[in-house]
Amino acid sequence: MNNYDIAIIGAGPAGMSAAIYAARSGKSVAIFERTYAGGQMLTTESVENYPAAGKISGWDLSENMKKQAEATGATFIQAEVADIKIDSDAVTLITSAAEYKAGYVIMAMGTERAKLNIAGEEQYGGKGVSKCATCDGAFFRGANVAVVGGGNTAVEEAAYLARLCDKVYIVHRRDVFRASASEVAKLDGCDNVVKVMNAKPVSIEGDGNRVTALIVDKDGENSVIDVSGVFVSIGGRPNSPLLKYVETDKDGYIITDADMRTSQPRIYAAGDIISKRVRQIVTACSDGAIAAESICRS
């Protein structure tokens, strides 16, 4: 019952796409996910660039993918893979409850939100410091908040929070956003958003219970931004004990070939966790499909 042709670690778009392609090829497939299927899609209020889906919430897109994967025969297992053992003919996946065997493994664990690594960030985690605007934005209705970051996610979160909060400061270390022009245009339409450019967060201050301010270094001088919430959105980083089994680049992303093979036989990888330039839902799906097809042809 615990033996599968392919085990997929991570149920984001890469993992679920891999499951669909592998199951449709007649393989037995198990997807291991420690929380909920969807990955970072779950924290995205609106997806507007996934082909044929039009405008759809990240939650709905995740549910659609999960239902399709299940319909093809994939099995979802809610468990964290703590370790693996790689043998010549199989890979053993170790969870807290049981062990599973698979002929091949696809690592699709995605990334975790990067930290600012400044004073007050850990102290006020859950007390005003958040990594998910769609998860926690409602707690700051009518308040002043800051978003730190300049990519698509940061700009999207700032625009979302502008609908809930009295004022939103978006703090970016450069003089231009890295986000797409279309997302920046949406932000420009929000009259309660203040752009704080060429600024670097220095510390998060509070009264011991809640956040009260964000201190930033702007053009060499410290200034105080009075806010009750700080949303950290500076990208993601791979973070898994399983990365030690495969070759990674200098930033910790898994190195793969064009077929999504890693340095380790029987281990493939797909999605945001691999070393590549573009990290989008559609590219994660492509990675997953390639990994599954590569295994099925092997």
- Take residue 268 and report the two structure tokens written for it: 């493939």
What confidence tens digit (pLDDT) does each residue in 144-197 have? 999 999 999 999 999 999 999 999 999 999 999 999 999 999 999 999 999 999
Does residue 80 sit in helix, strand or coil?
A: coil
Q: Please provide the average confidence, as pLDDT, over all residues in the chain.
A: 95
- pLDDT tens by residue, 15-31: 999 999 999 999 999 99
Q: Over range 103-111, report the average pLDDT.
A: 97
pLDDT at residue number 269: 98
Find the mean pLDDT for residues 86-103: 96
Confidence (pLDDT) at 1 = 66
Among 241, 294, 251, 290, CA closest to 270: 290
Q: DSSP of 251-277, one letter per residue?
A: TSPBP--TT-B-SSTTEEE-STTBS-S
Angular region, 282: left φ>0, alpha ψ -120 to 50, beta rest: alpha
pLDDT of residue 127: 95
Express each pLDDT in 191-240 by its tens digit. Answer: 999 999 999 999 999 999 999 999 999 988 999 999 999 999 998 889 89
pTM above threshold 0.85: no
Q: How far is CA 296 from CA 82, 91, 122, in A?
A: 26, 16, 44
Q: Is the pLDDT of residue 106 over 70?
A: yes
* Positions marked catalytic: 132, 135-136
Question: What is the rounded CA–CA span in Å between residue 186 and residue 168?
Answer: 14
Average pLDDT on 254-265 reads: 97
